Structure 1
Amino acid sequence: MDLQQRINAFTALGQFLSQFSSEKTLKNDAIQGNDLFFERMSQQLDTAVHHNGWFTRENIQFALKSWGKALSEENIKKWLSKYPIPKKTNLKTIAIIMAGNIPLVGFHDFLSVLITGNTALVKLSSNDSQLLPLISEYLIGIEPSFKQHIKITNKKLENFDAVIATGSDNTARYFDYYFGKYPHIIRKNRNAVAVLTGKETPEQLNALANDVFRYFGLGCRNVSKVFLPEDYNFDPLFNGMFSWKHMINNNKYINNYDYNKAVYLMSNLDLLDNEFLLLKEDSGYSSPISVLFYEKYKDLSEIKQKLKSEAEHIQVIVSDSGIKEEVPFGAAQKPQLWDYADGVDTVDFLLKLP
């Protein structure tokens, strides 16, 4: 199986996933593999929703839409154009330990391993165990040569050459202990932040709400903290957040809101509250569900330096203030194939394995 065959298979997968990216699935009879996999995927989406209460149909559809767009032949070739992808396949077996915080959160690692001709040995999170096995079956159905390259297990990981593991700061210590002797990428907690100047438009603040609330704030690319000028007027920010007021209809989310509000009030902490989101002044980066931390600054140059010095805590910077590598409001959960988690180039890591 050469590189073009692998690209063709993932391009077909992108077209397949796009059918499930809106509230009403739109079957396209011209898409490869639909006769065998369309109905199964429709049923599997229902299973995923029931399996994990945080995986709402809306959020799963958003994830599938994002991957459907990303997996075009043009995007894949643009992504891979700077790398010397080998013609040989089955070079190494890469153990991938996936997180389960948002739907298909480990798919980029899975894609990177397979597109470079390696074998993926996947350990799924129990929270996100419903979609990738069927996606793997689809890939094998489209390109049977993938069968020897995809191994999904719930047993102890054995017989691998390198490790890509994603988890919390606590699990990262566990990963370091057990896998430190192998070539590895071990990811820890990170969060997105937003830097506001007070000059943002209503449209930008509405878009920021998407960065805050998509996936209930559980993703590493969700904005969990905002930096604000000292004289900031909070009204426009709250007005922007109001576009996600439907969050109060989700029992799991609103239970977190009620709990966090009670804990903070019992501790006599000052809060700003719009009845579904709590704003808390805090120097930390990782806010609880339903809470958005904020920190004030005197000068923009001061905050630029702070973000540079604390980069290990930050996944994405959302802003329109000229900060290096900032992304536009509303784009935090729309990474490109070449936007790597923690800034670690996964493909480069795989290609340089001894």
Structure 2
Amino acid sequence: MDLQKRINAFVELGKFLEQFSVNPFEKNTTILQNDLFFDGFKHQIKLAQEHNAWFTKENLIYAFNGWSKLLTDSNIKTWLSNYNFNKENAKKVAVIMAGNIPLVGFHDFLSVLISGHDVVVKQSSNDKYLLPFLAKYLETIEPGFKGKITFTTDKLDNFDAVIATGSDNTARYFEYYFKDKPSIIRKNRNSIAILTGKETDDELEALSEDIFRYYGLGCRNVSKLLVPKDYDFQNFFQAMYKWHPIIHQNKYANNYDYNKAVYLMSEFNILENGFLMIKEDSSYASPIATVFYEYYQDSQNLKDKLQTDSDKIQCVVAKGLLDSEVPFGHTQKPQLWDYADNVDTISFLLKIS
């Protein structure tokens, strides 16, 4: 199966997902094999919601919409244009996936298959319904994928390379267990926003998307603010207000109540508005319903901190401060070439021998 056939299959998958990027879902009779798969995927979506309360219909639709926009012929070809696919030597690549947000491991799955390799997927139990069904769709519209996609719950063996995503603790296990294999091993990272006090209301409202989308569970969600001394949080809280219905989600509300109680009993100084708390803290990983903040002195102090802590940071939201900054409201809208931890997955996969 040549590269163009692989691209074509993922383009069709993007068209299939587009049907589920709106509410209510809209069946498109021109989609390949749709009579066979449309209702089946609706059922998998229902199972995903029932199994994981964080996977609300709104967030599932958001994820499907994002992938349907990325999986176009022109977008995929732009992504792959800088690589040499002339020498294809299919290897078996194990992918250990997280399950914090819907289809969080899809980019690794896509990268392995688009590179011509076979993929062995070990999913998180939190996100186990969607991807196997989409893999069946791929195999049906492009039979060349049959035999190249395996899902397992068993101990991994008989593979040539591995991409593993987990916590700092599991990363230490991965590094030991996979020490003899080519690997990409990802640890905990969080995203931050740098505020100057000059942000517009629209920019701060866009930042609310970076904070609250997926309940803040993704590594691309902003969990910390860097602000100048004497920053006034009033405009920030006003911009967050559009997300106030989030407190009606039971799991979120439970986390809010619990963390607020812990902070109050510990006599920590917090600011809160009934659905979000902010706390001055040097850490990056804030609990659900909480955003940490830290003051910076000047631009040099800021750049030194970002350099020192670069291995803890996934995205930096800012405006006109850094070459690699992400615009407000765009952390959960990465392009195919925006690699996690800035590690080029395709280059890694093409070098496996």
Task: Provide the secondary structure at the position in 2 that maps to 1:127.
Answer: coil
The answer as to whether partners of 1:2 and 1:88 remain within 8 angstroms in 2 is no
C-alpha distance in 1 between matches for 2:83 and 2:300: 36
The answer as to whether partners of 1:205 and 1:237 remain within 8 angstroms in 2 is yes
C-alpha distance in 1 between matches for 2:331 and 2:81: 24
Q: Name 2:324's counterpart in structure 1.
A: 325
C-alpha distance in 2 between matches for 1:23 and 1:226: 33
**For 1:254-298, what per-residue CA distance to the aligned partner results, in whole angstroms no more than 9, with x for missing partners?**
100000000011111000011111100001100011110000112
Q: Name 2:151's counterpart in structure 1.
A: 152
C-alpha distance in 2 between matches for 1:84 and 1:339: 19
C-alpha distance in 1 between matches for 2:138 and 2:278: 44
- Superposed counterparts of 1:173-192, under 5 Å: 173-192=172-191
C-alpha distance in 2 between matches for 1:124 and 1:5: 26
- Superposed counterparts of 1:1-354, under 5 Å: 1-86=1-86, 88=88, 91-354=90-353
C-alpha distance in 2 between matches for 1:182 and 1:231: 50
TM-score, normalised by the number of residues in structure 2? 0.99
How many equivalent residue pairs? 353
The letter of the residue matching 2:316 is I
Task: Provide the secondary structure at the position in 2 that maps to 1:148.
Answer: coil
Task: Provide the secondary structure at the position in 1 that maps to 2:278.
Answer: strand
The letter of the residue matching 2:67 is W
Task: Provide the secondary structure at the position in 2 that maps to 1:128.
Answer: coil
The letter of the residue matching 2:195 is L
**For 1:271-327, what per-residue CA distance to the aligned partner results, in whole angstroms no more than 9, with x for missing partners?**
001111110000110001111000011212321221122100000000113212001
Task: Provide the secondary structure at the position in 2 that maps to 1:279.
Answer: strand
TM-score, normalised by the number of residues in structure 1? 0.98
Unaligned runs of 5+ in 1: none
Give the drift of 1:54: 0.7
C-alpha distance in 1 between matches for 2:142 and 2:88: 16
C-alpha distance in 1 between matches for 2:320 and 2:289: 26
C-alpha distance in 2 between matches for 1:55 and 1:308: 34
C-alpha distance in 1 between matches for 2:141 and 2:190: 36
Runs of 4+ more than 2 Å apart: 86-89
C-alpha distance in 2 between matches for 1:78 and 1:43: 34
C-alpha distance in 2 between matches for 1:350 and 1:183: 9
**For 1:185-205, what per-residue CA distance to the aligned partner results, in whole angstroms no more than 9, with x for missing partners?**
000000110000001111111
C-alpha distance in 1 between matches for 2:103 and 2:86: 27
**For 1:82-104, what per-residue CA distance to the aligned partner results, in whole angstroms no more than 9, with x for missing partners?**
00013646x10000000000000
Task: Provide the secondary structure at the position in 2 that maps to 1:94.
Answer: strand
